[in-house]
Amino acid sequence: MKKLLILSGKGGTGKTTVAAAFASFSGARALADCDVDAPNLHLVFGELPTPRSTDFMGGDKARVNVEKCLGCGKCLEHCRFGALSFAGDKAVVNEYACEGCGVCAQVCPAGAVTLLPDLAGRQELYQGERVFSTAMLKMGRGNSGKLVTKVKLDLLKYAPNCPLAIVDGSPGIGCPVIASVGGMDLVLVVAEPSPSGISDLERLVKTAESFRVKLAVCVNRWDMSPENTEKIEAFCLRQGLPFLGRLPYDKSASLAINRGLSVADVDCPLREALKELYGKALVLLELGKN
């Protein structure tokens, strides 16, 4: 199985538009959405079968038994994360601030604090005509890299014989991106033609290069700034990175997404540019153009 990961330096650059179009062109039967903070690839797949859902447990969080709490305030004094406060005369934990260090449980004279595993998200696996692995992390939870790895592992486990897997990655260069890059055969970076887009691209390339994966670049909405598009092409030339193409701004993209479709389902200039891009990506993946 060849694995193609689509990344961007930040959200809103069109990464999922590209991933959804590629999925449609290829008829890919192996797909994953590793953007666990805001997964949205499923929105263009129409009706999906009921997924197999699995709880994703993060680290521990403190819970206070108010029946036992004496209101002494020792836990507040010792919590380095400011995760405890009083509600009336009882201690309460802010689940978003608690790091699960357990100090409060140790200092509590009443044994009122327990540490319990935290439900940090949910993993979903759709198995129908295609295998689609995705997940959603709860707001304010860490461990996104661990969840991304689980999403990838499920894809490999349940769709082992598919010739091509398409993975929509997380935006940025953080933990989930690093977790998604490992083991990929090609990372396609969707860049935005703006000064911040160029800087994002440079940082992302630096991050991905340390994993020694094959990288390629395209520019979305290139016509918004031909000058910056040229700068990105020049950067790719200097770095020896294949530049796969320019995608035009096309309002059909948002119209298609609003109707729950991929751009690949709509006859428009962007579709044609994406098709060409897809063909070039297949060549880099040594799958030939189909």
Q: Which helix (H) or strand (E) is 227 found in, with range?
A: helix 226-239
Q: Which amino acid is at 46?
A: G
CB-nearer residue toward ligand SF4: 96 or 249: 96
Told to check if 79 binds ligand SF4 by CB under 6 A, we report yes
CB-nearer residue toward ligand SF4: 100 or 279: 100
CA gap 217, 203 in Å, rounded? 13
Interface characters, 90-119, with ligand SF4 (x: CB under 6 A): -x-x----xxxxxxx---x-x-xx------
Interface characters, 113-152, with ligand SF4 (x: CB under 6 A): x---------------------------------------
CA gap 82, 98 in Å, rounded? 8
CB-nearer residue toward ligand SF4: 75 or 217: 75
Distance of alpha carbon 33 from its chain centroid, rounded?
Answer: 6
Q: Is-contact 15 7, C-beta < 8 A?
A: yes
CB-nearer residue toward ligand SF4: 72 or 178: 72
Q: How many other C-beta atoms are found inside a 10 Å radius of the C-beta of residue 66?
A: 14
CB-nearer residue toward ligand SF4: 116 or 153: 116
Q: Is-contact 190 218, C-beta < 8 A?
A: yes
Pairing of the two strands 84-87 and 90-93: antiparallel
Told to check if 84 binds ligand SF4 by CB under 6 A, we report yes
Q: Is-contact 25 222, C-beta < 8 A?
A: no
Give least dist CB 132 to ligand SF4, A.
Answer: 36
List residues binding ligand SF4 (CB under 6 A).
62, 64, 69-75, 79, 81, 83-84, 91, 93, 98-104, 108, 110, 112-113
